[in-house]
Chains A and B, each alone.
Chain A
Amino acid sequence: MREQPGVSHGLRRRDLLKATTAGLGLGALGGLPGPAWAAGTPWADRPASKVDRLNFVVWTYGDIYSKISRKFNDDWGIPVDSTISSFNDHPTKLMTMYAGNETIDVSQSSPFSLPNFISQGLVEPLDDLPGAKEYLADLTESARQVAVYDGKLVGLPYFSTVWVWNYYSDMMEKAKLEPFKTYDEFMEQCRKVKKDKIAEYPVAWVAGVGLEQLPGTWYQMTWNRGGVFFDKAGNHQLGPGSIARETLKWWVQTFTEQLADPESLKAQFTTSAKAFGAGKNLYRGPNHHYGLNIANDPAQSPIAGKVKVLGSPGDGRTIGDSHVYFLCTANRDKAWAWKLLQYLGGRTKDGQYSQAINLARDAMLGSGYKSVMTSNVITEGWKPWGDPQKILEIWDKATYVGEICNSIYKPWHFPWTDRLNIEVQKALTGQITADKCCDNLIAAIKEVQRG
C-alpha cells in the first residue's frame, strides 16, 4: 500500500524552533512583509520548510477566496491556487482530485460530508499543531460538534448558521396580518393571502435536492415540533404517529392546497433568496439566516429592506450547523498547509480572525468562534441586512443538526439522503403519500446500511 502523501510530513518541535528563530531573524531584519507581525505566536511563525505554492479546494462564495489568497501571498510570499466548484459539486471535485493523486493542502466540508471524508482518509487531525488548543478553546458549541470528531480536532470553522423563517413585510401589511405564531395560523394566513389574490403561492420553501436544503427543511420543522429522526441509540423515529411523519403530512398539505411555490422543489439557498426578492411570496420557509444578505441587498433584490426574519413557532427551537475547513492528508507540506488552513479558518499573521470577520461583515455569515460571535462584528456587521439582535435570539434556541439526525455521523447517511430527497419530493408532488414516503425511508435505512 502506498504511503499517503502528507502523512509523513509531521511538524516536529525542531521545525518549529527553526521556524521561530528564522522568523525572528528575518523579522528583525525587516525581511518579512506584513503590517503587524506578532512574533512568537503560532499564526505568525514562518515554517522552516519551503514550498513554491499552496492550494485549496472549496465551494464558491462571492470573491472571498481571491481576497484571502492575496493576503496570504502578501504576508508570506507564497502564491495560493484555488479550485472552486459549486456547493453540491464540491465533494465530487474534491474526491476526484484526491483519487487522481493530486496535491490538496486545504479543503472544506459541510457537517454532512465530513464524517465521510474522514472515513475516506482525507482529513488530517490537528491536535498536535501549534495553536490548535487555543482555537479549540474558542470554538462555539455548534462548531465544536462538527470540528471535533472522535475526540480529535479535525477542522477549523468556515461559518456557522442558524435556520430562520423570512417574510415580506409589505405583503404582510397589505394582507393586514401579523407573522404567524402557530403552524395552523400559518396555513390560515396562506389560504387567506391566496384567496385574496395577494400572492398566488404564499410560501416558498427551500426544497431543492441536496444534502441540506430539502432534508434540512424537514429536519428543522420536525425539531421545532419536538421530534427527531433518530434517537441517541440510532433507532429511526419515522414510524406511524411520529412527529417527523406528521410534519411531512403538514408540509405536503402546503403543496396539495397550492400554497407552496412550485419552484420550491428546485430551490437552493441562494436561488431561493434571489427568487424571494421578486416579492411574489409572503413567507420563505426555514433556511440559513444569511440569505438576508441577498434578499435585502438593493443590488440583488427589488424588495430590499423589506424581508424580515422570523423565529419558529412554539418555544422557537430551531437547528444550526457549522461548516469547516480541514487540512487534507494529500497536502504537500503539513506546516505550510496548517498555515494556509489558519488563514481560511483561523487567524492570519496579524493575529486576527480575518476571514471570519470578513465573512460576517461582507456576507452575514456567523462564526464558529465565540470571540467573533460576541463582538460587534456581528451586532454591527449584520445590520445592513437584518436585525442582529433578533437573529442572535434565535441563535440561542438553535441545536446542532446532528442532534436531530445523528445518521450524519454514519457512512450510509449519504445514500440515505439520496433516497430521502427522492421520496420526499415524490410525496410533495403527490406521487406517494407521506406515510408511504416514511415507510420507504424506513426500508431504505436497512438497504443503505447493507451497502
Chain B
Amino acid sequence: MTGVSVRGGAVAAPLQPPFRFGRELSARVLGFVMNIPTLVTLALVLAYPIFYAAYLSFHRVSLADLRRGVFPFVGLGNYERILADPLFLLALKNTLIFTAISVTAEVVLAIAIALLIDQRQVWTGRITKFLILLPYAVPPIANGLIWSFMYNFDFGFLNRILFTLGMIHDPINWAGNPDTALIAVAIPYIWRTLPFAILLVHAALQGINPELYEAASVDGAGALQRFWHITLPLLRPIIVVTLVLRTSFAFAVFDEILAITQGGPGDATWVAAWYSYRKGFAPPFDIGVGSASAYVLALIVGVLAIAYVKLIYRRIQ
C-alpha cells in the first residue's frame, strides 16, 4: 500500500502508514517526543516537590515524622494556624514592603543603567559591563556576609566612608535599628539581583530598530520624548517579565536575611520565607506549617504575576 486508495472513482484521504522504527515522525509527534525528557525532568525536579509540599501542608508533620512516614491529616488546620499567627501576618507585611522597594528600585535602575550602557559613544567599555554584571556572580549568602561586615556599627566600611565624606557625624546602626533594618537588607539584595534585570532590559533595547529613533529625531522629538514614546512602550513586554520574575524572587528573599539580621532586631525583618524556614527547619520542625506558609506565599506571587500581565500586557495590546 502506498497510502492512497481509489474506490468508486473518489479519491480517499491518504492512509497513515503503520508506525515503524526508522520512519520519519510527523512534526506533532516529534515535538511531543522531544519534549518528554524535559517534561519528565520538570515533573521530577519541580512538580513532585510542589505537590508533595501541598500534601504536607494538609498534615501535621515534624521532620522525625518524615523519616517515619506517618503524618496525621489536619485538613486546613495548618493554614488556619498561620493566618491566625500575628507573626506570619507581620512577615507578610514586611515581605510586601521589601518586594515593593526592591522591585521598584530594580526596574527603575535596570532601565537607567541599560540605557546608559546601550550608548555606544560613552564610557561603556567591556570592563564596565563586566563590573556591572559582577554582583550577579556573588553567591547570595556571601553577599549577605559581605554586607553585614560593611554594616558593622563599630568597624563597618559604610559608616567609615560616610563619616570620611562628612555625611554623618555618628555611626548609623544600619542593620540593628528597626527603622533601617529592612532597607539595610533590601540594598544588598538589589545590588546582587540588579544585573539580571539590566541584562534583560539591555537585550530588549538592542532589539529596538534604530530607524524608529532616527524617524522620531527627524520629526523633532527630543530625548525624553523618544524614550517615552518609543523606548518605554517597546520595553513593556520585558518589563512585565522582569516584574514577574523579580517579584517572585523578592518574595522568597532569604539569604540576606539569614546573613545580616536573622529576622531582627526583634521582628523588624521577619519575612515570609524566613517564617517558613523557622517553622519548618528549626525546632520543633513543624514542616506542615512551613509548607502551608510557603503555599500562601506562592499564591500571593501567582496573583501578583497575573495582575502584572493583565495590567501591563493589556495596555500593550
* Nearest A residue to B148, CB-CB: A266
Distance to closest chain B CB from A441 (angstroms): 13
- Tell me whether A209 is interfacial, beta carbon within 8 Å: yes
Distance, CA A262 to CA B151, complexed state (A)? 12
Pick the 6 closest A-B CB pairs, nearest first.
Answer: A426-B266, A120-B64, A414-B283, A99-B63, A99-B66, A425-B266
Contact B284 A415 (CB under 8 A): yes
Contact pick for B67, options A101, A275, A421, CB 8 Å: A101
- Tell me whether A233 is interfacial, beta carbon within 8 Å: no
Chain B interface helix/strand/loop/mixed:
loop
Q: Number of A-B pairs whose CB atoms are under 8 Å?
A: 98
Contact B282 A91 (CB under 8 A): yes
Contact pick for B154, options A2, A95, A96, A261, CB 8 Å: A261
Known: A98-B67, A266-B175, A280-B154. 6 other contacts (CB 8 A): A2-B69, A95-B285, A100-B67, A101-B67, A422-B264, A426-B267
A262-B176, A266-B176, A429-B177 given; A116·B264 CB < 8 A: no
Contact B154 A120 (CB under 8 A): no
Which one of B62, B87, B282 has the greatest number of beta carbons of chain A within 10 Å? B282
Distance to closest chain B CB from A112 (angstroms): 9
Distance, CA A120 to CA B67, complexed state (A)? 10
Contact B62 A120 (CB under 8 A): yes
Contact A209 B177 (CB under 8 A): no
**Residues of chain B within 8 A of A419, CB atoms compared:** 87
Distance, CA A30 to CA B266, complexed state (A)? 62
Contact B265 A429 (CB under 8 A): yes
**Residues of chain A within 8 A of B270, CB atoms compared:** 422
Contact B69 A1 (CB under 8 A): yes
Contact pick for B178, options A2, A414, A431, CB 8 Å: A431
Q: Which of B46-82 contact A (CB under 8 A)?
A: 62-64, 66-70
Distance, CA A418 to CA B267, complexed state (A)? 10
Which one of B153, B177, B283 has the greatest number of beta carbons of chain A within 10 Å? B283
- Tell me whether A358 is interfacial, beta carbon within 8 Å: no
Q: Which of A51-104 contact B (CB under 8 A)?
A: 91-92, 95-96, 98-101
* Nearest A residue to B86, CB-CB: A447
- Tell me whether A278 is interfacial, beta carbon within 8 Å: yes
**Residues of chain A within 8 A of B267, CB atoms compared:** 422, 426
- Tell me whether B281 is interfacial, beta carbon within 8 Å: yes
Distance, CA A121 to CA B263, complexed state (A)? 30
Distance to closest chain A CB from B184 (angstroms): 12
- Tell me whether B276 is interfacial, beta carbon within 8 Å: no
- Tell me whether B94 is interfacial, beta carbon within 8 Å: no
Please, what's the 1-or-0 string for B283-305, where 1 marks a CB less than 8 Å from any CB in chain A? 11100000000000000000000
Residues in chain B within 8 A of chain A (CB atoms): 62-64, 66-70, 87, 152-155, 173, 175-178, 262-268, 270, 278, 281-285
Distance, CA A275 to CA B176, complexed state (A)? 16
Which one of B153, B154, B265, B268 has the greatest number of beta carbons of chain A within 10 Å? B265
Contact A263 B68 (CB under 8 A): no
Distance to closest chain A CB from B278 (angstroms): 7
**Residues of chain A within 8 A of B176, CB atoms compared:** 262-263, 265-266, 429
- Tell me whether A411 is interfacial, beta carbon within 8 Å: yes
* Nearest B residue to A330, CB-CB: B67
**Residues of chain A within 8 A of B155, CB atoms compared:** 278
- Tell me whether A423 is interfacial, beta carbon within 8 Å: yes
- Tell me whether A122 is interfacial, beta carbon within 8 Å: yes
Contact A120 B265 (CB under 8 A): no
Distance, CA A4 to CA B66, complexed state (A)? 12
14 interchain pairs, CB-CB under 8 A: A91-B282, A95-B64, A95-B283, A96-B63, A100-B66, A113-B283, A116-B283, A120-B62, A261-B154, A265-B264, A266-B176, A421-B264, A422-B270, A426-B265
Contact pick for A116, options B87, B153, B284, CB 8 Å: B284
Contact A429 B62 (CB under 8 A): no
Distance to closest chain B CB from A198 (angstroms): 16
**Residues of chain B within 8 A of A421, CB atoms compared:** 264
Contact pick for B153, options A1, A262, A330, A411, CB 8 Å: A262
Contact B64 A99 (CB under 8 A): yes
Distance to closest chain A CB from B181 (angstroms): 9
Which one of A120, A275, A419 has the greatest number of beta carbons of chain B within 10 Å? A120
Contact B281 A265 (CB under 8 A): no
Contact A262 B69 (CB under 8 A): no
**Residues of chain B within 8 A of A412, CB atoms compared:** 284
Contact pick for B70, options A1, A100, A429, CB 8 Å: A1
Q: Which of A211-263 contact B (CB under 8 A)?
A: 261-263
Distance, CA A4 to CA B62, complexed state (A)? 15
Contact A275 B154 (CB under 8 A): yes
Contact A429 B178 (CB under 8 A): yes
* Nearest A residue to B267, CB-CB: A422
Distance to closest chain B CB from A376 (angstroms): 39
Contact B62 A265 (CB under 8 A): no
Distance, CA A60 to CA B285, complexed state (A)? 22
Which one of B66, B153, B263, B264 has the greatest number of beta carbons of chain A within 10 Å? B264
Contact B266 A429 (CB under 8 A): yes
Distance to closest chain A CB from B154 (angstroms): 6
Distance to closest chain B CB from A36 (angstroms): 40
**Residues of chain B within 8 A of A411, CB atoms compared:** 284
Distance, CA A98 to CA B283, complexed state (A)? 13
Distance, CA A95 to CA B62, complexed state (A)? 10
Distance, CA A91 to CA B283, complexed state (A)? 7
* Nearest B residue to A266, CB-CB: B176
Contact B64 A425 (CB under 8 A): no
Which one of B152, B262, B285 has the greatest number of beta carbons of chain A within 10 Å? B285
Distance, CA A266 to CA B174, complexed state (A)? 12
* Nearest B residue to A413, CB-CB: B283
Distance, CA A120 to CA B64, complexed state (A)? 6
Distance to closest chain B CB from A413 (angstroms): 8
Distance, CA A32 to CA B70, complexed state (A)? 45
**Residues of chain B within 8 A of A92, CB atoms compared:** 281-282
Contact pick for B63, options A120, A415, A422, CB 8 Å: A120
Distance to closest chain A CB from B257 (angstroms): 12
**Residues of chain B within 8 A of A414, CB atoms compared:** 282-284
Distance to closest chain B CB from A275 (angstroms): 7
**Residues of chain B within 8 A of A275, CB atoms compared:** 154
A95-B285, A209-B264, A411-B284 given; A263·B64 CB < 8 A: no
Please, what's the 1-or-0 string for A100-138, where 1 marks a CB less than 8 Å from any CB in chain B? 110000000000010010001110000000000000000
**Residues of chain A within 8 A of B262, CB atoms compared:** 209
**Residues of chain A within 8 A of B178, CB atoms compared:** 426, 429, 431
Distance to closest chain B CB from A94 (angstroms): 9
Contact A96 B64 (CB under 8 A): no
Distance, CA A92 to CA B152, complexed state (A)? 27
Distance, CA A423 to CA B66, complexed state (A)? 32
Contact B265 A425 (CB under 8 A): yes
Q: Which of A400-451 contact B (CB under 8 A)?
A: 411-412, 414-415, 418-419, 421-423, 425-426, 428-429, 431
